[in-house]
A and B are shown apart, each in its own frame.
Chain A
């Protein structure tokens, strides 16, 4: 299956991001099946690595003011978490 692509905003020092550990984070879907859903955000549990080839999907990293980092990381999304109560 083709790689999926996500991005995330890292607001702390990049060196402090825990690798290979289940972490809750917000990711944006950059390659949805229906293009209208591009940039949909979701809270997920996932594992990330700064090694681009370690996990199945690609994760682009942006800093707090949107600065895109040159080298992508990789991510395994374990599940989406719904944090928002149903209206």
Chain B
């Protein structure tokens, strides 16, 4: 194995503990708001992951909060140094996910921990799982906040893993938004619904950390193989009890059932990744359950969407930005890097470029706004090599000084959007309509060289020998930093 791999969430919990990034909470915690409030505060303070050992009303169940809400935890999940820098983690992600996909392998049910307990019939009751009330005012208890849903295409048999939130409605029913442009949306609404066929699904809760990363990444590679690539080893799957889907054998909890065609039930409101409760309570996709299988003492994973930074914002920013990087590189655009800011709730991406021809920023924006990735973000900032794309101060400086308020801004109307955009009109949210904008922070190529503003920074306006002298003497001058 080229790097340490966590085959399940339990090994990952041990690694978090070993890296002082876990707080084990032995005291009983209430699933009704208290657990959510703890996870929320953890996200806002970038604290260690809370590991809940005792959940009120649910003896025997445990939960892990905010499993991947920081780059440190992402680095640990990738088997890298916990203090790896974002560009290092990004390069590693791109490297691992541009090789050959790694096919999963099928385990015998007897060897699959997720089959240690099997509930079917009346026993398969969603209220027997400690689904938290995540935020006060949510439309229901969200059992699935850090998880993924497995489904199979009716015609091609292609398998999709995607993270689509699920709210408990009653003992047997969950509801959630499956956006029409998502892979599962196209599968279910495009193929099963017209034939009035229920679509088998399996919700996987408490998977290994990299499967979670893969499930919310917008990659065209089947997510189980993508997980294998991130891990450097095949994922071990096992057959479901009630359908022919396969799920990760080492996951904590599996909920099996069918997505019901031509029936919608009200879902939401829910505290969302934008940091608001925005998308309307409205009729959404219905999941009817048939079986629940789980490990002994199962550990639920709980994310808490809200103001930055939660794992949705961090990982979606990470993978959306890097899939954009792959797209732009595949087209030969001379970019120097792509970084999506998690604090922008993955709405704002910074693209570094060598501006060797005119209007290169427009070409970048046209490509990324025209791609499958585009409904999820609406601001592209293009900067030249002078700006460090990972440094927020530097990016703000470039935006405020190099972007012409008229020439530098290009608006894109009538785009695909999501119902979650807080700035969108209620009618636009309902129809997933959006708008997008480019901020071109490169100076025009036709300006005479003598008219080009020169960046006044330590690195830029002093000769090398002076810089070195100052750096060498810094402590001698009396500075402590």
Contact = CB atoms under 8 A, between A and B. Distances in A.
B269 A87 contact: no
B416 interface: no
A87 B172 contact: yes
Contacts of A37: 127
Interface residues of A, number: 23
B318 interface: no
Contacts of A9: 139, 266, 269, 281
Interface string B278-306: 10110000101110000000000000000
Contacts of A41: 140, 169-170
Given A9-B281, A87-B288, A39 B133 contact: yes
Contacts of B135: 66
B18 to A, nearest CB: 34
B257 A62 contact: no
B171 A66 contact: no
B127 A66 contact: no
Given A35-B57, A38-B32, A65 B137 contact: yes
Nearest to B173: A84
Contact of B286 (A35, A65, A84): A84
A36 B269 contact: no
A64 B127 contact: no
A68 to B, nearest CB: 7
A58 interface: no
B141 A66 contact: no
Interface in A22-55: 26, 28, 34-42
Contact of B127 (A40, A42, A62, A67): A40
Contacts, number: 66
A64 B277 CA distance: 9
Contacts of A40: 127, 168, 170-171
Given A36-B58, A41-B169, A26 B266 contact: yes
Contacts of B138: 66
A11 B257 contact: no
Nearest to A26: B266
A28 B133 CA distance: 13
B266 A64 contact: no
Interface string A60-84: 0010111110000000000000011
- Which residue, A11, A26, A35, A65, has most C-beta atoms of chain B within 10 A? A65
Contacts of B171: 40
Contacts of B290: 87
Interface residues of B, number: 35
Contacts of A35: 57
Interface string B165-190: 00011111100000000000000000
Interface string B56-97: 011000000000000000000000000000000000000000
Contacts of A66: 135-139, 269, 277
Given A39-B141, A64-B280, A87 B32 contact: no
Interface in B196-250: 198
B106 interface: no
Given A64-B280, A84-B286, A39 B140 contact: yes
A87 B258 contact: yes
Contacts of A83: 263, 265
B372 interface: no
Nearest to B280: A64
Given A36-B57, A36-B58, A85-B263, A42 B288 contact: no
B260 interface: yes
A82 B30 CA distance: 30
B128 interface: yes
Contacts of B172: 84, 87
Contacts of B168: 39-40
A9 B267 CA distance: 10
Nearest to B30: A35
Nearest to B136: A66
Interface of B: 32, 57-58, 127-128, 133, 135-141, 168-173, 198, 257-258, 260, 263, 265-266, 269, 277-278, 280-281, 286, 288-290
Interface of A: 9, 11, 26, 28, 34-42, 62, 64-68, 83-85, 87
Q: Which 9 interchain pairs have the tightest Cβ spacing?
A: A66-B137, A87-B288, A66-B269, A65-B277, A41-B169, A36-B127, A37-B127, A65-B269, A36-B57
9 contacts: A11-B280, A35-B57, A38-B32, A38-B133, A66-B135, A66-B137, A84-B260, A87-B172, A87-B258
Given A41-B169, A87-B260, 6 more contacts: A9-B139, A34-B127, A39-B133, A64-B281, A83-B263, A84-B173
